[in-house]
């Protein structure tokens, strides 16, 4: 039996840009994990949740959101070390461009 699974989206608190999208059956626990492990978490508004009847449905929706909305920090398949370096650099670049008013 498949369990309901949430698709969650984190947006930047200041400008609403989509930062990260993922899936979970335990939104509170996943939020705690991001708080402890994700360099972008402190800049985000609380996550928005959309519930799906199954993990497969949520994963399908996640793929569609990543393709359509290009979240700043989604990058499955990268090594953890490379992801952290790339994400930190991407976030710094984003914050600088935002501060200078040069975001497109």
Note the pLDDT tens digit of each residue in 85-104: 566 677 677 777 777 776 65
pLDDT exceeds cutoff 50 at 55: yes
Alpha helices in 4-71 (DSSP H): 27-37, 55-69
Q: Could you tell me which of 8, 89, 80 has the C-alpha nearest to residue 37? A: 80
pLDDT per residue over 21-43, tens digit each? 999 999 999 999 998 888 888 88
pLDDT more than 70, % of the chain: 79
pTM: 0.74
Superfamily of domain 5-100: GIY-YIG endonuclease (3.40.1440.10)
């Amino acid at each position: 039996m498949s369990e309901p699974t949430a698709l969650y989206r984190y947006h930047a608190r200041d400008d609403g840009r989509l930062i990260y999208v993922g899936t979970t059956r335990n939104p509170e626990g996943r939020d705690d994990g991001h708080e402890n492990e994700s360099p972008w978490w402190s800049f985000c508004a609380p996550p928005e949740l959309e519930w799906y009847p199954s993990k497969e449905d949520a994963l399908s929706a996640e793929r569609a959101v990543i393709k359509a909305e290009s979240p700043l920090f989604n990058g499955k398949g990268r090594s953890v070390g490379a992801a952290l370096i790339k994400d930190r650099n991407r976030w710094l670049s984003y914050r600088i461009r935002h501060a200078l008013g040069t975001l497109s």
